[in-house]
Amino acid sequence: MSTGPLVVLIGPMGSGKSTVGALLAERLGAPYRDTDADIVAAEGREIADIFVDEGEPHFRELEREAVAAAVAEHTGVLALGGGAVLDASTRALLSGLPVVYLSMDVEEAVKRVGLNTARPLLAVNPRRQWRELMEARRHLYTEVARVVVETDGRTPEEVAQAVLDAL
């Protein structure tokens, strides 16, 4: 019988979900899984292409299915895409799980990924878009998280340690 993920990482793009997730997996001796990678593998194309070809609502549907499969099957460290919490059904799938929100402020976000146009949501005005994105999502991250871990000014190793301490 499956026991569910050991930890589920949520938070904005660039908050370190994949880097910290891989470190945690190593420290816990558990496998790492990432729903963005699951979607890319299942669809055979990049996330940016899914956004452009079929739009964000379709991507959120694919993401909901990917999160449902991962929480049912995966018993290690799981990282979700930064916008997964926007979908109410996806949020419901996270209920009762050890969800950790890796939080980051707007200036840190701009510094880390602001000009990375490969991320489809940030192509035009990174600072303004970051501010809007954080304002729209912060309460959703908080709502589903069991624990909030600050990432500003911390290395991935320090964040991973803070997650382990908090679990």
Q: Binding site: residue ranges?
A: 14-19, 36, 60, 82, 119, 137, 154
Binding site for ATP: residue ranges? 14-19, 119, 154
- CA 120 to chain CA centroid, nearest Å: 15
Q: Should residue 33 be labelled a site residue for ligand S3P when binding is judged by CB under 6 A? A: no
Cα 79 to the center of its chain, rounded Å: 5
Taking CB under 6 A as the rule, does residue 38 contact ligand S3P?
Answer: no
| Residue 16, C-beta contacts closer than 8 angstroms, at least 6 positions apart | 102, 104, 151, 156, 159
- CA-to-CA distance for 56 and 119, rounded, in angstroms? 13
If one asks whether residue 13 binds ligand S3P (CB under 6 A), the answer comes out as yes
Size of the residue set binding ligand S3P (CB under 6 A): 10
Stretch that binds ligand S3P, among 64-72, 75-83, 94-102, 152-160 (CB under 6 A): 75-83
Q: Tell me the sheet residues that pair with 78.
A: 8, 33
119 binds ligand S3P (CB under 6 A): yes
Q: Give the nearer residue to ligand S3P in terms of CB position, either 120 or 156.
A: 120
Measure the CA–CA gap between 1 and 99, rounded to whole angstroms.
21
Q: In the stretch 125-164, what mask flags binding to ligand S3P with x, by CB under 6 A? A: ----------------------------------------
What backbone torsions phi and psi does residue 126 show, to the nearest 5 degrees? -50, -45
Give me the residue label for tokens 């146009």: 117
21 part of the interface to ligand S3P, by CB under 6 A: no
Question: Which chain residues interact with ligand S3P by CB under 6 A?
Answer: 13, 17, 36, 47, 81-83, 119-121
